[in-house]
Amino acid sequence: MSEAAPTTSPAPTSPDGDGDTVKRRRWGWLLLLPGMLWLAVFFLFPTVQLFFTSLYDPSGSYVSGYAMTWHVANYAEAITDTGNLFVRSFLYAAITTFVCLLLAYPLAYAIAFKSGRWKNVMLVLVIAPFFTSFLLRTLSWRAILSDQGPVTSFLQTIAILPDDGRLLATPVAVIAGLVYNFLPFMTLPLYASLDKVDYRLIEAAGDLYSSPFTGFRKVTFPLSLPGVVSGTLLTFIPASGDYINAELLGTPNQYMLGNRIQAAFLTEHNYPLAATLSIILMVVVVSMVVVYVRRAGTEELV
């Protein structure tokens, strides 16, 4: 008779190994604790407080104070009174995002694949505007787009603008300021995504007789899609809530939702209205972001 093959029992788990795993998990939570506390104190708590403020009785005042009456009608009234500002804000933000994408993609592509030893220099030039105040950069556009400025004079000379035409205090000026200020937020994610692409894949597309456009559509753009999604989010979200560009480069006819919120908070002291508009803006933007990311097929970015 043949002897039965010896059976080997699994090695017992070391209790020390389990203890190390528990310690690592505890250290992980401890490392997360400062960031979680920061978010709780400076994001979660203010957001909850903002929500409660949006339900205050709107008949109160800065002097007499506001009472909590759970006035849900604040939301309907805010949407009815400022619906045009919502449309204008999202329209300006969408145009800004689209223009930034058109400008930033070729720039990011050139930095990633064509810049060679000048790559670091070009990246520094992209982020160089951040070395100057956001407010100062926007104010400089007042001089650039003024009625006697170089841009307006040139467009009048080539008959694109009439002699009495202007750029400042128009939607064009507001969108130009938004594009300039948020262009780096589009360029850097695109560069980070394109820089990870193996250029041999692009060359292989050419070797397989695809045209440059087909190779871009089938290879380059799909591989850079995470950067496109990140860049569009980083541009659209702050642009939709911006108020500096409309304040300095536009008129009340170009004011965005951020201008109304700023005026309600700081000038009118109408805290229920300001809080209501802020909550609506956050909910709408978050909903749009979730839908957009899922439609783009990059749910891991959420």
pLDDT recorded at residue 175: 95
120-141 per-position pLDDT tens digit:
999 999 999 888 888 999 999 9
- DSSP H stretches of helix in the chain: 15-39, 45-53, 73-109, 119-127, 134-144, 150-157, 171-195, 199-207, 212-215, 221-223, 225-240, 244-249, 257-262, 271-296
The band of 161, judged by pLDDT with boundaries at 50, 70 and 90, is confident
CB-CB neighbours of 31 under 10 Å: 9
**Spatial separation of the C-alpha atoms in residues 53 and 118, rounded to whole Å:** 52
Partner residues linked to 61 by β-bridges: 65
The pTM of this model reads 0.84
- The residue with greater pLDDT, 126 or 25, is 126
Eight-class DSSP state of 10: P
DSSP 198-257: -HHHHHHHHHTT--HHHHIIIIIHHHTHHHHHHHHHHHHHHHHT--HHHHHHS-GGG--H
We report the CATH number of the domain holding residue 116 as: 1.10.3720.10
249 assigned to some structural domain: yes
Tokens 């930095």 locate to 111
**Spatial separation of the C-alpha atoms in residues 12 and 29, rounded to whole Å:** 28
190 assigned to some structural domain: yes
147 assigned to some structural domain: yes
Q: Which of 68-77, 206-215, 218-227, 235-244 has the highest mean pLDDT?
A: 235-244
Residue 262 tokens read as: 């700023």
Query: Residue 174 in contact with residue 250, Cβ under 8 Å?
Result: yes
**Spatial separation of the C-alpha atoms in residues 204 and 193, rounded to whole Å:** 19
Q: State how many domains the chain has.
A: 1
8 assigned to some structural domain: no
The one-letter amino acid code at 228 reads: V
The band of 188, judged by pLDDT with boundaries at 50, 70 and 90, is very high
Cα torsion 54, 56, 57, 62: sign: negative
30 assigned to some structural domain: no
Residue 188 tokens read as: 């850097």
If you average pLDDT over residues 242-267, what whole number do you get? 93
Query: Residue 126 in contact with residue 107, Cβ under 8 Å?
Result: yes
Q: What is the largest CA-CA distance in the chain?
A: 110
CA distances to 107, 114, 208 from 201, rounded to whole Å, are 20, 16, 11
63 assigned to some structural domain: no
Instruction: Please work out, in degrees rounded to the nearest 5, the angle formed at the alpha carbon of residue 104 by the alpha carbons of 134 and 123.
Output: 70
Taking 70 as the threshold, does the pLDDT of residue 182 lie above it? Answer: yes
Q: Which of 296, 126, 115 is nearest to 199 (CA)?
A: 115
Range of the domain at 269: 83-301
13 assigned to some structural domain: no
Q: What is the mean pLDDT of the chain?
A: 87
The band of 97, judged by pLDDT with boundaries at 50, 70 and 90, is very high
Half-sphere exposure (Cβ direction) of 88: Cα atoms closer than 13 Å? 22
50 assigned to some structural domain: no
- % of the chain with per-residue pLDDT over 90: 51
Taking 90 as the threshold, does the pLDDT of residue 99 lie above it? Answer: yes
Query: Residue 85 in contact with residue 257, Cβ under 8 Å?
Result: yes
If you average pLDDT over residues 168-183, what whole number do you get? 93
